[in-house]
Structure 1
Amino acid sequence: MKFVSVFLLAFSALSLSACNTIEGVGKDIQSGGQAIERTADQNKK
């Protein structure tokens, strides 16, 4: 029973940290896309 509790606690901690990492990557990609879009708009003229 103790092993199961430790496993669930470790799994929960890893899952939560992975969500934060994926969210951060998504924000970085979005920022990069916005920068490309601004550059493209500036060079249209």
Structure 2
Amino acid sequence: MKRYIALLLVVASAALAACNTVAGAGEDLSAGGHAVTNSAEKSK
């Protein structure tokens, strides 16, 4: 039973870390999109 709980904690920690990484990547892509949009607006 202790092994099962330990494994569950490891998996949960990995899932949370991956979630933060994906959220950060999404924010970076969003910032890049805003930069392209702003450049296009300035070029008009």
Q: CA RMSD in A?
A: 0.6
Q: Deviation of residue 2 (structure 1)?
A: 1.6
In structure 1, stretches of 5+ residues that fail to align are none
CA offset digits 1:1-45 (Å, max 9, x no partner) = 12111110000100110110010000000000000000000111x
Amino-acid identity (%): 39
Q: Alignment length, in residue pairs?
A: 44
Q: Which runs of 4+ in 1 moved over 6 A?
A: none
- Structure 2: tracts of 5 or more residues without a match: none
More helix by share: 2
